[in-house]
Structure 1
Amino acid sequence: MNKLLAVPLLAVLALAACGKPAADDSRLVVAATAVPHAEILQVVKPLLEKEGVSLDVRVFNDYVQPNDQLVQKQVDVNYFQTEPYLDAYNRDRKTDLVTVTGVHIEPFGAYSRRVKSLDELPQGADVVIPNDPSNNSRALILLHTAGVIELKDPTNALSTQRDITANPKGLKFRELDSAMLPRVLDQVDLALINTNYALDAGLKPTEDALAIESSDSPYVNFLVSRTDNRDDPRVQKLARALTSPEVKGFIEKQYQGAVLPAF
């Protein structure tokens, strides 16, 4: 009877192990958003193969699941977010995900189909901004820098609408999920859109944005891991590959200033 039970038990254990990254094999599972992160990871794949690492890229279209799955150990690392966004996630979820290396900057932009400059925004214009704390603040800081509104402290990376001290045009703000912003561009006067979603929607940030962050933006996109695997040799190999001359050259050629190397 014990022998008969052994086979089903082994099968159950094998099934339980499926779907989670194995700590002792060559595979490294990374969660990423499509553009530019997953595209950059495709450049990295052959570099890692030469070092004995098989990169498994899983693409997501939101900013929550890549972190949730990293915490749950469904993926080994992720590559999609800035440090202020990570800090807000860790604070809100009581987690301790950590940065491994900074890779690139995506200058954040303001877009419109209805006006050709921010000066043309009508009184009471309908403006949509991201609803997560980090990118919400980033949008408001960009509008402050462009002279459209004034913030109490524009250096505060977690500024909110409550921190607006002047709004001469009486802009009416609505907060939406970042992935939704390009989809409503035709329905609003102004949309503040993350560059990865802008690129995915066919926008050209350096040409189409009415206002855009400068090249010295502090919002670097990082490779992120858990504390228990940050020093894993596979993770460190990925970090080195993401900051290699090959990746730098690809970013500069492919994105023409819409994405900038941070190394």
Structure 2
Amino acid sequence: MTKHLVLAALLGLGLITGAQAADAPLKVGTTAAFAIPLEAAVAEADKQGLKVQLVEFTDWIAPNVSLAAGDIDVNYFQHIPFLENAKAAAGFDLVPYAPGIINNVGLYSKKYKSFDELPKGATVAIANDPINSGRGLQLLAKAGLITLKPGVGYKATEDDITANPKQLKILQVEAVQLVRAYDDADLVQGYPAYIRLAKTFDAGSAILFDGLDHPEYVIQFVIQPSKKDDPRLARFIDIYQHSPVVRASLDQVNGKLYQVGWKE
């Protein structure tokens, strides 16, 4: 075989490989709280000729491990503070690609209807991981129940509490277990998505929500930097953000307890 024929054969193989890559399904990792609207986006993508495979994980560690390993193309379950913490802990080379929604987080009580009713020494359950506990503490500060050192933001810890007039007893538990703490603690940091999944009490019954007070908590589509020019990714994000079918699914799942993080 001449050099020209060998070169032609190699170029042809490259074209085939590239075509196969373009036809491969986009693999999107997520968790249960975000799966249903993503399923709607996957169905819409299929109608438009874009193949997408949704991979659902049962914890908050595996989606980044899988993404870093190249087993999936993008994940959607985390906000920027969570991502930055994961990168610092494990050395992941991952970046946010596009914003999704922000889910409101609230303070719930089975026993009391206002913060004024909380007695001294009341028990308050918040998340125990470094990122979500900071969000819980910021909520308590917004409620006027504690005061935090200026500027600590989402990195707040109990050491940053400068005033606790009701002498609240803060209990830290796993975020996914906070729903169960509702029956025992006087006040609970709650995530509407997980409350709906548990079907134990009304997700809209919080005494206070944080909403867009902290836009750093917008859930992000996260990728490896090398994936930033993947046309499949851009098409799928456009469907998620702009399809009326996906928006209807977001409304059905989240009610009014979310906002979009992108410009409409």
TM-score by length of structure 1 reads 0.83
Please list, as runs of the form range in 1=range in 2, the aligned pairs for 1:49-198 lying within 5 A after superposition: 49-153=46-150, 156-198=153-195
Letter in 2 for 1:221: I
1:29 to 27, 30, 46: 27
**What is the CA distance between 1:46 and its match in structure 2?**
2.3
Pairwise CA distance, 1:254: 4.5
Structure richer in helix, relative to its length: 2
Using the TM superposition, give the Cα deviation of residue 154 of structure 1 relative to its aligned residue in structure 2, in angstroms.
5.3
What runs of 5+ residues in structure 1 fail to find an aligned partner? 1-21
TM-score (norm 2): 0.83
Query: Which amino acid is the alignment partner of residue 185 of structure 1?
Result: Y
| AA matched with 1:235 | L
| Residue 24 of structure 1, CA deviation | 5.2
What letter is aligned with 1:258? L
Give the Cα separation in 2 of the matches to 1:160 and 1:84: 14
* Structure 1 range deviating more: 145-154 or 113-122: 113-122
Residue 231 of structure 1: how far off its partner (Å): 2.1
Deviations 1:19-68 (A, max 9, x none): xxx95543122221213x11111110122113432222222333222122
What is the CA-CA distance between 1:243 and the residue it aligns to? Answer: 1.0
- Shift, 1:253, TM fit: 5.1
Whole-Å separation in 2 of the counterparts to 1:60 and 1:189: 31
Name the CA distance, whole Å, in 2 between partners of 1:130 and 1:71: 26
Mark the CA change 1:197 to 1:119 in structure 2 (over 3 Å): closer, same or farther: same
Q: CA offsets per residue over residues 167-205 of structure 1, 9 Å max, x none?
A: 111111222221111122212112112232223223443
Secondary structure at 2:188's aligned position in 1?
strand
CA contact (8 A) 2:192 2:254 kept: no
Structure number with greater Rg is 2
Instruction: Give the counterpart letter for 1:225 in structure 2.
Output: I
Check conservation: 1:198, 1:204, Cα contact below 8 A: yes
Report the CA distance between 1:241 and its aligned residue: 1.3
Offset from partner CA, 1:138-176 (integer Å, 9 cap, x none)? 110011011010001256221111110001111112222
Tell me which of 226, 229, 234 is aligned to 1:228.
Answer: 226
- Within the candidate set 205, 208, 230, 1:208 is matched to 205
Root-mean-square deviation (CA, aligned residues, Å) is 2.0
